[in-house]
């Protein structure tokens, strides 16, 4: 028996040691010397204490080769995921559950467009941008060939692959598509119009309310400056730890509004949470360039960054760059267009499926684009007629990567504006500041010029040609503000004001964040970096505070007559709410449960489950509910399931509040002191492999309570539902503050960490900092970097 115990103990030690070695084997060393074939000269890389690499190279090609190698060393599996999403190859990794996602991306043609983009890029062979991109890919592939294999490959049983130029465009195409909100909104709005009618649709904010906050435009520079199918793909991608873009905040202050007397830029991009985190930070130095940037895994140029002269950030423009065209077919399978019956263009697609047979299917395309009925249940539920997907991104080779290459070298505001003009799709708001105290905002993207009668947020007529686009507006017509007299610019994904008498249609969000940002920036004060820290993590919602007053004022008589101490206590908490979303606050727990119940009781009976769930996932919902709750006589208030009763707003408010309190009592008990926001609002960063227990303990980061809320400035947000704990699905993918008075000490923070290796100390070393609103330096001073280097 003693021998058995001894051998069993030895076996356990050997097994545990083997597992430990296996898990730690791919974790990179952050000091020492590494010989890599492919470099022309020696390159120095200093890792600071957060594992941010500071690359010093003697020439540009070595710098970009090193960038590719280092990115792959930390994020190879993430890069693998990203390239496979856009090319429709996730099923090769995860099996049949991802076939529908792959089929969607194959159908909309990102892979086809990637080839066109590469063909266009090959014509630029003589340009530095092309050479740098090639060097970057060589660096990635040097690691693929000779570097340590991340553990995810072994767990999934897949081989590493070399990266091609097309893969950069697979990644970019996927990110562009994750902005395309029309596949949710357009069919749903058309369904409402068809099945419910104008009385319902008029209270849905599909466009923009006249009193909404609009980003002001100003073009005069200073004189001295030169679970339906669609839901399944979004839910599946989130479940598999693949980021979806969902919004952002950005503001830039001119020198007259800052304590330092220099321009200041703040940015936090809102992207669905995933693990590893979305952005990878790198500081790059070589003759002619000093650049600090936030990179997407697999891309050679930073989308957010700064050099010694200029800084730039991004938010989503939310412009409508896609249309759905309703067609008509005859018995021969032809489609009608301008009085003629035409043949579809077809292409065969084959999806390889891990552990199963390959899936073959045919994609049909009309003059407007691929037919999407089979990959969108919203469309399929709406009509049996063919619906084609027209998308700006698929029309011409993209120059968006060119834009970020040129921004990296920007040394004048004219350079920045030229770069802004190259961004085509997706639409982005480019926030800009420089060392000469210029500030600017450009709404970037190819803006579609449509016929005046067209409402582009609904299905369009694809048979006559009358709803076809006219063309594109020149970039000079895009909304912008350059050095405005009020000396700040901002964007919170809200509607830009008119330019040249034109409102550009889009999927803009409500005023919640914009309202608060304007309130703060309009103060008569000089702003410091410390002030910007507080503003970036602000958790006050004026809109939700006002809605809580709307609710409590209407239901006060019912609360009084009920004489229930618990209900009255919850009522008083909500009534006194100042809109704060700190983890210790109780009111937001009550508010969001009540809000969900109001929307559910008002709309679920008409929309039914699938459409209701889709609606909650649209920007249309975010714009609608603040307006709807203030409309006393909306058709939505009547519950059509109660045939003999006509409900009104007060009835629905009271029913919702009472039911919310009942639910919260079940969840948290009868004492409202224990209903703190921290219990409902917890964040977990999920890795694709961490979705399977017990792998979550190794790969996922969290859960942990976190401050912030739904469309607060600190927009740590979630999809409204009836669960005990909200599934936080997106928020700031980084926070950045840069004062041009001290560019060497710009500040940032990452939601989890730099590394993609679960056993690395830098896999989650920023997690608690981020959740507590703490920042760290973005160092560019070489002496300081060397003194704090891990090597």
Task: For residue 82, give its domain range.
Answer: 2-175
pTM: 0.93
How many other C-beta atoms can be found within 10 angstroms of the C-beta atom of residue 59? 16
| Whole-number pLDDT of residue 508 | 86
**C-alpha distances in angstroms, 483 versus 141, 742, 769?**
44, 21, 34
Residue labelled with tokens 């009472």 = 658
Task: Number of helices (H) and strands (E) in the chain: give both, helices first.
Answer: 25, 29
User: Which residues fall within 8 angstroms of residue 206, CB to CB, at 6 or more apart?
Assistant: 185, 189, 457, 620
779, 54 in Cβ contact below 8 A? Answer: yes
- How open is the CA angle 448-450-452, to the nearest 5 degrees? 145
10-residue averages of pLDDT along the chain (791 residues): 60 62 82 94 97 98 99 98 95 94 95 97 94 98 97 95 97 80 81 91 70 62 38 51 68 98 97 94 98 98 98 94 96 98 98 97 98 91 94 96 98 98 96 98 96 91 98 96 96 82 83 92 96 98 97 97 95 98 98 98 95 91 93 95 92 98 97 97 95 93 97 94 90 98 97 97 98 98 93 62
In a domain, 44, yes or no: yes
From 675, 700, 725, give the residue that closes a domain: 675
Query: In a 3-state reduction of DSSP, which class is residue 69?
Result: helix
In a domain, 632, yes or no: yes
Token readout for 384 is 């049996």
The DSSP element (H or E) to which 568 belongs, if any, is helix 565-575
Cα–Cα distance measured from residue 721 to residue 596, given in angstroms and rounded to the nearest whole number: 7
| Whole-number pLDDT of residue 498 | 72
Q: Long-range contacts for 201-205 (Cβ within 8 Å, ≥24 apart)? A: 203/624, 203/627, 203/628, 203/631, 203/634, 203/635, 203/636, 204/620, 204/624, 205/510, 205/620, 205/623, 205/624, 205/627
Token readout for 747 is 């500040």
The DSSP element (H or E) to which 521 belongs, if any, is helix 512-521
| Whole-number pLDDT of residue 248 | 87
| Whole-number pLDDT of residue 97 | 92
In a domain, 634, yes or no: yes
In a domain, 91, yes or no: yes
**CA 695 to chain CA mean position, Å:** 25
- The HSE-up count of residue 549 (CA atoms within 13 Å, CB side) is 9
| Whole-number pLDDT of residue 278 | 95
| Whole-number pLDDT of residue 81 | 95
Cα–Cα distance measured from residue 565 to residue 553, given in angstroms and rounded to the nearest whole number: 18
Query: In a 3-state reduction of DSSP, which class is residue 648?
Result: coil
Cis, bond preceding 426 (omega within 30 deg of 0): yes
In a domain, 395, yes or no: no
| Whole-number pLDDT of residue 619 | 86
- How open is the CA angle 589-593-595, to the nearest 5 degrees? 115
**CA 400 to chain CA mean position, Å:** 17
Residue labelled with tokens 């649709």 = 201
Cα–Cα distance measured from residue 27 to residue 51, given in angstroms and rounded to the nearest whole number: 12
From 175, 202, 220, give the residue that closes a domain: 175
From 149, 175, 201, give the residue that closes a domain: 175
408, 128 in Cβ contact below 8 A? Answer: no
How many other C-beta atoms can be found within 10 angstroms of the C-beta atom of residue 94? 24
In a domain, 596, yes or no: yes
227: exposed, middle or buried (C-beta count within 10 Å: 0-12, 13-18, 19+)? middle
Token readout for 719 is 């999809």
Task: Provide the strand spans (E) within 38-122.
Answer: 44-47, 53-56
In a domain, 474, yes or no: no
What's the domain count of the chain?
2
In a domain, 216, yes or no: no
CATH of the domain at 96: 1.10.439.10
686: alpha, beta or left? (left if phi > 0; alpha if psi -120 to 50): beta
355: alpha, beta or left? (left if phi > 0; alpha if psi -120 to 50): left
Cα–Cα distance measured from residue 68 to residue 53, given in angstroms and rounded to the nearest whole number: 12
Cα–Cα distance measured from residue 479 to residue 476, given in angstroms and rounded to the nearest whole number: 8
């Amino acid at each position: 028996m003693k021998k058995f115990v001894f051998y069993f103990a030895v076996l356990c030690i050997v097994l545990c040691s083997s597992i430990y070695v296996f898990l730690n084997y791919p974790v990179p060393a952050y000091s020492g010397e590494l010989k890599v074939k492919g470099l022309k000269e020696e390159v120095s890389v200093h890792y600071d204490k957060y594992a941010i690499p500071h690359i010093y190279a003697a020439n540009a090609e070595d710098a970009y080769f090193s960038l590719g190698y280092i990115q792959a060393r930390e994020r190879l599996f993430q890069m693998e995921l990203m390239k496979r999403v856009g090319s429709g190859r996730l099923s090769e990794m995860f099996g049949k559950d991802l076939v529908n996602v792959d089929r969607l991306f194959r159908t909309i043609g990102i892979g086809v467009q990637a080839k066109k983009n590469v063909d266009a890029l090959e014509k630029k062979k003589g340009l530095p941008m092309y050479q740098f991109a090639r060097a970057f890919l060589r660096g990635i592939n040097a690691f693929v060939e000779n570097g340590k294999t991340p553990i995810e490959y072994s767990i999934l049983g897949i081989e590493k692959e070399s990266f091609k130029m097309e893969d950069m465009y697979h990644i970019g195409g996927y990110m562009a598509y994750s902005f395309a909100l029309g596949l949710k909104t357009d069919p749903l709005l058309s369904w409402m119009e068809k099945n419910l009618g104008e009385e319902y649709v008029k209270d849905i904010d599909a466009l923009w309310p006249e009193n909404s906050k609009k980003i002001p435009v100003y073009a005069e520079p200073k004189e001295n400056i030169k679970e339906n199918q669609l839901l399944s793909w979004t839910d599946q991608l989130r479940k598999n730890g693949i980021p979806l873009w969902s919004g952002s905040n950005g503001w830039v202050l001119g020198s007259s509004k800052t304590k330092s007397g220099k321009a200041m830029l703040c940015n936090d991009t809102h992207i669905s949470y995933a693990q590893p985190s979305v952005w990878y930070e790198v500081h790059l130095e070589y003759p002619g360039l000093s650049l600090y940037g936030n990179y997407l895994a697999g891309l050679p140029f930073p989308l957010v960054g700064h050099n010694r002269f200029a800084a730039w950030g991004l938010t989503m423009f939310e412009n409508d760059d896609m249309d759905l065209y309703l067609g008509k077919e005859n018995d021969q399978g032809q489609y009608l267009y301008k009085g003629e019956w035409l043949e579809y263009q077809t292409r065969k697609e084959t999806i390889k499926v891990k552990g199963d047979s390959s899936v073959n299917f045919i994609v049909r395309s009309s003059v407007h684009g691929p037919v999407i009925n089979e990959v969108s249940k919203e469309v399929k539920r709406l009509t049996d007629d063919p619906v084609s997907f027209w998308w700006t991104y698929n029309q011409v080779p993209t120059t968006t990567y060119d834009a970020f290459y040129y921004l990296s070298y920007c040394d004048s505001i004219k350079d920045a504006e030229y770069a802004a003009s190259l961004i085509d799709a997706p639409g982005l708001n480019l926030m800009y500041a420089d060392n000469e105290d210029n500030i600017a905002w450009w709404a970037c993207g190819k803006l579609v010029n449509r016929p005046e009668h067209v409402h582009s947020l609904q299905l369009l007529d694809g048979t006559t040609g009358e709803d076809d686009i006219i063309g594109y507006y020149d970039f000079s017509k895009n909304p912008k503000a350059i050095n405005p007299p009020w000396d700040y610019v901002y964007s919170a994904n809200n509607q830009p004001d008119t330019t040249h008498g034109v409102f550009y249609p889009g999927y803009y969000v409500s005023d919640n964040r914009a309202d608060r940002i304007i309130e703060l920036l309009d103060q008569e004060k000089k702003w410091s970096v410390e002030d910007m820290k507080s503003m970036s993590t602000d958790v006050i919602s004026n809109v939700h505070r006002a809605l809580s007053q709307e609710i409590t004022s209407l239901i006060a008589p019912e609360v009084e007559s009920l004489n229930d101490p618990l209900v009255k206590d919850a009522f008083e908490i909500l009534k006194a709410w100042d809109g704060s979303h700190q983890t210790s606050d109780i009111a937001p727990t009550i508010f969001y449960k009540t809000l969900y119940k109001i929307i559910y009781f008002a709309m679920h009976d008409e929309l039914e489950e699938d459409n209701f769930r889709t609606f909650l996932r649209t920007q249309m919902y975010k714009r609608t509910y603040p307006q709807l709750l203030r409309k006393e006589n909306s058709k939505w208030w009547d519950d059509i399931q109660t045939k003999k009763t006509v409900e009104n707003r007060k009835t629905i408010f009271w029913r919702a509040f009472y039911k919310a309190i009942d639910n919260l009592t079940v969840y948290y008990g009868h004492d409202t002191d224990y209903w703190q926001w921290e219990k409902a609002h917890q964040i977990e960063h999920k890795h694709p492999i961490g979705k399977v227990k017990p792998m979550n303990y190794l790969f996922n980061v969290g859960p942990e309570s976190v401050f912030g809320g739904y469309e607060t400035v600190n927009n740590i947000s979630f999809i409204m539902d009836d669960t005990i704990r909200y599934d936080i699905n997106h928020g700031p993918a980084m926070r950045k503050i840069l004062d041009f008075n001290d560019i060497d000490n710009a500040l940032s923070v990452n939601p989890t960490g730099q590394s993609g290796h679960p056993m690395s100390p830098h896999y989650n070393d920023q997690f608690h900092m981020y959740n507590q609103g703490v920042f760290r330096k973005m160092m560019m001073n070489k002496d300081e970097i060397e003194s704090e280097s891990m090597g």
